[in-house]
Amino acid sequence: MVSTLTYRQLTIEDGPRVFDLVRTSGSLDVNSRYTYLLLGKYFASTSLVVESAEGPVGCVLGFRPPEYPDTLFVWQVAVHPRHRGHGLARKLIHLLLDSPGCSGATHLEATVTPDNDASDALFRGIARAYGADCQVEPCFARRLFSDGGHAPEHLYRIGPLSERRRRSS
Ligand SMILES: CC(C)(COP(=O)(O)OP(=O)(O)OC[C@H]1O[C@@H](n2cnc3c(N)ncnc32)[C@H](O)[C@@H]1OP(=O)(O)O)[C@@H](O)C(=O)NCCC(=O)NCCS
DSSP strand pairing (6-9 vs 47-52):
antiparallel
Per the document, the length of the chain is 169
Q: Which atom of ligand 1 is nearest to the CA of 119?
A: 1
Instruction: Write out pLDDT tens, residues 95-113.
Output: 999 999 999 999 999 999 9
Distance 165 CA to ligand 1 centre (A): 22
Least-confidence region, from 26-30, 61-65, 130-134, 145-149: 145-149
Q: Rounded CA gap, 17 and 23, in Å? A: 10
DSSP strand pairing (133-140 vs 107-112):
unpaired
* Count of H-run helices and E-run strands, the chain: 4, 7
CATH superfamily entry for domain 6-165: Gcn5-related N-acetyltransferase (GNAT) (3.40.630.30)
How do the domains of the chain map onto residue ranges? 6-165
Instruction: Write out pLDDT tens, residues 31-80.
Output: 999 999 999 999 999 999 999 999 999 999 999 999 999 999 999 999 99
pLDDT at 1 over 60: no
Half-sphere exposure of 54 (CA within 13 A, CB side): 9
Residues 18/57, Cβ–Cβ less than 8 Å: no
Q: Rounded CA gap, 104 and 72, in Å? A: 10
Residue nearest to atom 23 of ligand 1 (CA): 118
Q: Is the CB of 16 under 6 A from ligand 1?
A: no
Distance 11 CA to ligand 1 centre (A): 24
Q: Is 30 helix (H, G, I), strand (E, B) or coil?
A: coil
Residues 20/33, Cβ–Cβ less than 8 Å: no
What single letter denotes the amino acid at residue 6? T
- Smallest CA-to-CA distance from 96 within 58, 124, 68 is with 58
Distance 54 CA to ligand 1 centre (A): 21
